[in-house]
Structure 1
Amino acid sequence: MIASRRALLTGGAALTLSGWSAAGRRADAATDMAVLRATTRTLDIDGRPATVLGLLRPDGGHGLIQQPGERFRVRLENRLTERTIIHWHGQTPPYPQDGVPDAPLPLIEAGASRDFDFMPNAGTHWMHAHVPDQEMRLLAAPHIVRTAADAQADRQEVVMMLHDFSFTPLAEILARLGAGGSAPHGAGGGPHGGMPAGAAPHAGMPMGAPDINDLDFDAYLANDRTLSDPEVVRVEPGGRVLLRIINGAAATVFWIDTGVLQASVVAVDGHPIRPQAATRFALAMGQRVDLLLALPREGGAFPILALREGARERAGLILATAGAAVTRIARDADTAAPAFDGRQELSLHAATPLPSRPADRSLSVTLNGGMAPYVWSIDNRPWGRHRVLEARRGERVELTMSNASMMAHPMHIHGTVFQVVGLGSQRFAGAMRDTVQVPPMERVTLAFEFATAGRWMFHCHHMPHLATGMMTEFSVRG
């Protein structure tokens, strides 16, 4: 697939944006409504066919790419034989359009549709089922909202969406793990373990080795493909590439490795940061990163790899100039990738931080859980018996999350964008995000404001943790 640097390529269904939006309609047709279909599709997983789910446009493309200033006017059609609902991750729509079961709208029945209309936040975002089992069956897709600066920049844009995939259904996985219970959108029950409610990690607390990966998957995918047949994206010698990476995995943190290409990290979770150089960058589940790459004038083939945290498996794609030799890349690295301790967050600083002001409300929660029994919760109270967090529209909230478990948790808040302002005892003006990794036995503090009243979900983006109860909600009034 070859296009000008101003063209945008995405996944296995690349689309050149020359007068058309990625929804398969004219970008200036303001009265048109784009269509996305929740449906099934078949992938080749190293020679083995896999029936998975997907969010497809009528033209067969995956997900949605929007031009600058374009409203999110979408009709979601459920072509599945089961009910579903889609959350627009990274967006802050009116509360009824957020896409969570019964908060406030019910799941969409098989064969039915639902319309959405709001002004989206710009940046690299994604969309996914807010039903853990369906998200693990890959009911997710990119959602890219370009800015005027993107449209004017002399560069090519490439999207890489990462997944982990298992042929085993989530219910069977949870049964093998000895989970205490589950429900379609994260409700949980049964016994709960871990530290007492309200307990927080502190110096001298007994600690063993952190649990990095509690699940092994059958495959790790970049744009729906394994490294046995990776996507090769054609690029220009001497050109610039904006690489938008989305970690849509259910339970896998990835290290992004750009190899010989030096990257400039320019945005996280769709929000610009003060640029910093890197060749490796960790990405937890639900998070995104934008990397600006400069290609050498002599051209070549340049693998962009996603290394599974604490393991040897990897996925990725290859940027290659015309005529460059593309060699086979082994699925497994020679050595295991390191654990992600979360200290990377200290180096990220928002290009446009929140205005400085005292907190109107300070809240704290404890993240609990363990492998035996396999139950995860917030304040030792799984969803259904959760403690509702109160807030008012427009007030500055500071939330401190204390992880009292031996696993990291990527915590996501709906309905707002937060700034990371604390890691452990260290205060700093960090990045604007919607999902943050809370390391084992560590504390992370966030600052944010809700612009809209509603019941906004707050949960772990590790799907089996969510499925066993690691979710609560903010009740926002005013």
Structure 2
Amino acid sequence: MSETPGSTPGRRSFLLAGLGVAGAGVLAACGGGSGAGRPALVSPSGAAVGAADGKRNRTGRTHEVSLVAAPAPVELGGGVTAGTWAFAGRTPGEELRVSAGDLVAATLSNRLPDRTTTSVHWHGIALRNDMDGVPPVTQTAVASGQDFTYRFLADAPGTYFFHPHVGLQLDRGLYAPLIVEDPNEPLSYDDEWVVVLDDWLDGVAGTPDEVYAELKRGMGAMHGGGMAMKHMLMGAESPLLGGDAGDVRYPYHLVNGRVPGDPQVLRSAPGRRVRLRLVNAGGDTAYRVALGGHRMTVTHTDGFPVRHQEADALLIGMGERYDVLVTLGDGVFPLVALAEGKNAVGRALVRTGSGAAPVADFRPGELEGAVATGSRLKAADDVRLPSGKADRVHRVELTGGMMAYDWAINGERFDMDDPARRPITVAEGQRVRLDFVNSTGMWHPVHLHGHTYQLGADGPRKDTAIVLPGRTVSVFFDADNPGRWLLHCHNAYHGEAGMMALLAYED
């Protein structure tokens, strides 16, 4: 899809950071499956959606915010300026912070080029379906020059973020953190630092649309015609990711919108305990994150608490979020985000005393120590799902490859002209098991809208999970949020190629 000013939005114009879209052919068991007939599905604004929303905890407070999406020159530091799209001229956009149970009233003003539609998806929030920000599944896309107000209760504490769900806009600068504070916060810490990671090329090496146009020709075309590849990355390998680490060559890896040579600096004092809220807003890059000279304690993933686990470093895929606690030493320390398999880093600095900062590409030894991943964590006792047999089981096979760039789910693509044609169906009140079966040669971060699932019987509660090549990850969730929800790979370009499905409640 092209988002060139003046172009008419086509049938590929409606999805996420590249979610161009995946089919939902599904194998179902335990009483599930859409069958040959067409199921009656819950409307995004229907009575069941309203009834579920009425059960959410609420404070009675309303937090109003204005989000203006527009072209802007964004300073990335070190003399680098990117011509991109951003909220209010900055990336990441301004942090949105509310308390659990607050009503968010966020007015999106689309000031992007003529005929460019957009939306806002509230990534990780189990909100009411008609506010999820996914045209045309939950709303009509917001046209250039128009406004739309999202109104929803943010009732689950945690670390989240928001971004468009139209075209490849996430791989521009349109994203920002969303923090939902716990009024009964159980953690004890002195300071808090929200850290947003991103892989960057927009406005300095091309556009996401140009990247996708190159990728979708596939490796087969490259091998057949000797075609030069500007953006496709070859040889990105990572044992942690099971082999191929990524598709795209990015000139910069950012921490809070800054290049490594001109980093953001957190100033604190020795002995202070800091909560880091880590968000991977990237399009194609997993990051291995470490703070030089320190160990970290993992406390949350995707907003939900886990049994505390000590680690030297943390692996975070696109769309994932992790919270960690660190007690600071005395000196100057690099917070390094190693672009997994891509031989590049992003970084910020922590300064608690005197001393010189290490060089921009310094890699602390902690990166090679004990690495925490979602698959190695356990849910905290108070959020672990009660044991029980699944009422419905769906096989969600991740298919395709780089040769033809034909990423899909169960070998089929989502029909954007008919988004509810072949949904994965569930019924309210059911315990659902999804088996993510990765038959491809590459890893995929699989994100479910509107819910959190649990990895296995006692794994962490998450909404985005890494599925390694050749592996199966089984996740469980309770169907308690009626509507129509996307399930997709959060690699922007895999989504645009077709790795997406629709999960819908039966009426």
TM-score, with structure 2 as normaliser: 0.76
Counterpart check, 1:314 vs 2:345: yes
Match of 2:295 in 1: 262
Please state how far the C-alpha of 1:348 moved relative to its aligned partner: 3.2
Does 2:205 align with 1:171? no
Between 147-156 and 82-91, report the one with greater CA deviation. Answer: 147-156
Match of 1:135, SS? helix
User: What is the rounded CA distance, in whole Å, between the counterparts of 2:426 and 2:446 in structure 1?
Assistant: 18
- Partner residue, 1:146: 181
Match of 1:94 in 2: 128
Rounded to whole Å, the distance in 1 between the matches of 2:425 and 2:178 is 30
Partner of 2:26: none
Q: Is the 8 A contact 1:313 1:332 kept in 2?
A: no
Three-state SS of the structure 1 residue aligned to 2:250 is coil
2:477 is matched with 448
Can you list the C-alpha shifts for 1:21-68, whole angstroms capped at 9, x where unaligned?
Answer: xxxxxxx9935622222233312364232122223499x961311135
Q: Which residue of 1 aligns with 2:462?
A: 433
Q: State the match for 1:300 in structure 2.
A: 331
Provide the C-alpha distance between the structure 1 equivalents of 2:496 and 2:249, rounded to a whole number of angstroms.
17
Q: Find the residue that maps to 1:466 and give its secondary structure.
A: helix
Aligned residue number for residue 415 of structure 2:
384
Letter in 1 for 2:118: T
Percent identity (aligned): 31
CA contact (8 A) 1:266 1:291 kept: yes
Whether the 8 Å CA contact 2:332–2:351 is kept in 1: the answer is yes
- How far did 1:365 drift? 1.7
CA distance in 1, matches of 2:279, 2:337: 11
Match of 2:153 among 112, 115, 119: 119
Question: How many residues align structurally?
Answer: 413
Distance of 2:371 and 2:423 partners within structure 1:
29
Give the whole-Å Cα distance in 2 for the aligned partners of 1:257 and 1:439. Answer: 22
Q: 1:301 to 1:133 in 2, by over 3 A?
A: same
Q: Kindly report which structure 2 residues correspond to 1:68-467, keeping only aligned pairs within 5 A, or say none.
A: 68-81=100-113, 82-120=116-154, 121-150=156-185, 153-166=188-201, 167-179=205-217, 210-296=243-329, 299-321=330-352, 323-331=353-361, 333=363, 345-351=375-381, 352-384=383-415, 387-421=422-456, 428-467=457-496
Residues 174 and 270 of structure 1: CA distance in aligned 2, closer, same or farther (over 3 Å)? same
How far is 1:103 from its partner? 1.3
Q: What's the CA shift for 1:350?
A: 3.5
Rounded Cα–Cα distance in structure 2 between residues aligned with 1:70 and 1:461: 28
Structure 1 regions of 5+ residues with no counterpart?
1-27, 181-208, 422-427
Corresponding residue SS for 1:382 = coil
Structure 1 residue 230, shift from structure 2 partner: 0.4
Write the letter of the residue equivalent to 1:66. Answer: V
Contact 1:259–1:279 (Cα < 8 Å) also in 2:
no
In 2, are the aligned partners of 1:313 and 1:333 still within 8 Å (CA)?
Answer: no
For residues 224-248 of structure 1, give each alpha carbon's deviation from its aligned partner in whole angstroms, at most 9, with x where no partner exists: 0011000001112211100000000
Structure 2 counterpart SS, 1:100: coil
In structure 2, C-alpha distance between the alignment counterparts of 1:132 and 1:430, rounded to whole Å: 33
2:94 equivalent in structure 1: 62
| 3-state secondary structure, aligned to 2:314 | strand
Asked if structure 2 preserves the Cα contact closer than 8 Å seen for 1:240 and 1:292, the reply is yes
Residue 37 (structure 2) aligns with: none
On the 8 A contact 1:416/1:448 being kept in 2, the answer is yes
Alpha-carbon deviations, 1:108-152, whole Å to 9, x = none?
112221112222121000001112421111211100111124498
Distance 1:130 1:216 in 2: 23
* Aligned CA distance change for structure 1 residues 395 and 341 (closer, same or farther; 3 Å): farther
Contact 1:264 1:291 in 2 (8 A): yes
Shift of 1:78: 1.8
Contact 1:133 1:169 (C-alpha < 8 Å) held by counterparts: no
- In the alignment, is the contact (CA less than 8 A) between 2:333 and 2:351 conserved in 1? yes
Sort the Cα spacing of 1:224 and 1:264 in 2 relative to 1 into closer, same or farther, 3 A. Answer: same
- Tell me the distance in 2 between the aligned counterparts of 1:145 and 1:232: 24
Report the Cα offset of residue 96 of structure 1.
0.8
Structure 2 unmatched runs, 5+: 1-58, 219-241
CA 359–80 in structure 1, closer or farther in 2 if over 3 Å, else same: same
Structure 1 residues 344 and 127 mapped into 2: Cα distance closer, same or farther (>3 Å)? closer
> SS in structure 2 opposite 1:215?
coil
In structure 1, C-alpha distance between the alignment counterparts of 2:287 and 2:431, rounded to whole Å: 32
